[in-house]
């Protein structure tokens, strides 16, 4: 009888040891997997948090020595220089960055017509104004919209203003917001607009973060 009790105790001890060993093995196995999973999650989170910087890989730098500014933009964008276009009073020139620049008219023009090109999609536009230009003229394209607010920001190290307008668009269907950015140097006033600066498009902020004044 005593031998049976002794055997039972030994059996119980062996079973307990087996269970402890099994639990230890499983715990360690899971522990080995956790760092790998965390690394993958951290990598994914890092990609998301700096997604703007990563997405700028391959972007081109546009530099304008005449008016002293530069910035980076998606390589697929095309430049349309407005030097031959009609310009409002006080406007020196403008530069449009488009999906495609149309250089031939859609229909035959008369002998007195002057087709200087147009943009198919306007993602980003920089207007360079004389210092005497009035705000009414600078913001003329937004005259039919409601000015919601003005934010003080910095662009290229310069104090600037962000004007946010809202309104309904039948073409775009629904109510949208438009952002107009204005910065000033000792020589010019720069106004920045475009489709990429509509609503909460992150592309606009990415571009503005690379904007520099070189004069």
Q: What is the rounded distance in angstroms from the CA atom of residue 125 to the CA atom of residue 133?
A: 17
Q: Which residue has the higher pLDDT, 11 or 176?
A: 176
Which DSSP state fits 78?
A: E
Q: What is the rounded distance in angstroms from the CA atom of residue 122 to the CA atom of residue 148?
A: 23
The reported pLDDT for the residue numbered 100 is 84
Give the chain's mean pLDDT: 79
Query: What residue segments make up the domains of the chain, in order of their start?
Result: 2-49, 57-213
193 burial class (0-12, 13-18, 19+ CB within 10 angstroms)? buried
Q: What is the rounded distance in angstroms from the CA atom of residue 200 to the CA atom of residue 6?
A: 77
CATH number of 57-213: 3.40.1000
- Residues whose CB falls within 8 Å of the CB of residue 204, separated by 6 or more in sequence, listed in order: 124, 179, 194, 196, 197
pLDDT tens, 179-209? 999 999 999 999 999 999 999 888 899 999 9
Indicate the range of 6-15, 173-182, 189-198 predicted with least confidence. 6-15
pTM: 0.70
Contact 182, 189 (CB under 8 A): yes
The reported pLDDT for the residue numbered 50 is 34
pLDDT tens, 42-68? 433 333 333 344 478 899 999 999 999
The reported pLDDT for the residue numbered 116 is 74
3-state secondary structure 107-163: CCCCCCCCCCCEEEEEEEEEEEECCCCCHHHHCHHHCCCEEEEEEEEEECCEEEEEE
Contact 138, 165 (CB under 8 A): no
The reported pLDDT for the residue numbered 137 is 95
Measured between alpha carbons, how far apart are the two ends of the chain, in Å? Answer: 102
pLDDT tens, 112-125? 666 677 878 889 99
């Amino acid at each position: 009888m005593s031998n049976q009790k002794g055997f039972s105790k030994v059996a119980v001890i062996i079973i307990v040891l087996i269970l402890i060993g099994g639990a230890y093995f499983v715990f360690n196995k899971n522990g080995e997997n956790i760092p790998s999973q965390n690394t993958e999650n951290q990598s994914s989170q890092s990609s998301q948090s700096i997604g703007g910087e990563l997405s700028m890989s391959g972007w081109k730098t546009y530099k304008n020595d005449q008016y002293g500014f530069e910035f980076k933009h998606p390589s697929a964008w095309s430049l349309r220089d407005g030097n031959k276009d009609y310009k409002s009073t006080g406007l020196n020139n403008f530069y449009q960055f488009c999906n495609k620049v149309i250089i031939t008219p859609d229909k035959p023009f008369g002998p007195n017509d002057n087709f200087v090109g147009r943009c198919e999609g306007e993602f980003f536009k920089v207007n360079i104004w004389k210092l005497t230009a009035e705000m009414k003229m600078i913001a003329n394209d937004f005259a039919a919209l409601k000015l919601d607010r003005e934010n003080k920001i910095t662009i290229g190290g310069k104090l600037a203003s962000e004007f946010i307008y809202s309104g309904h668009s039948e073409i775009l269907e629904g109510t949208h917001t438009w952002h107009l950015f204005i910065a000033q140097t000792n020589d010019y006033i720069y106004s920045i607009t475009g489709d990429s600066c509509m609503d909460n498009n992150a592309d606009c902020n990415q571009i503005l973060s690379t904007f520099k004044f070189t004069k």
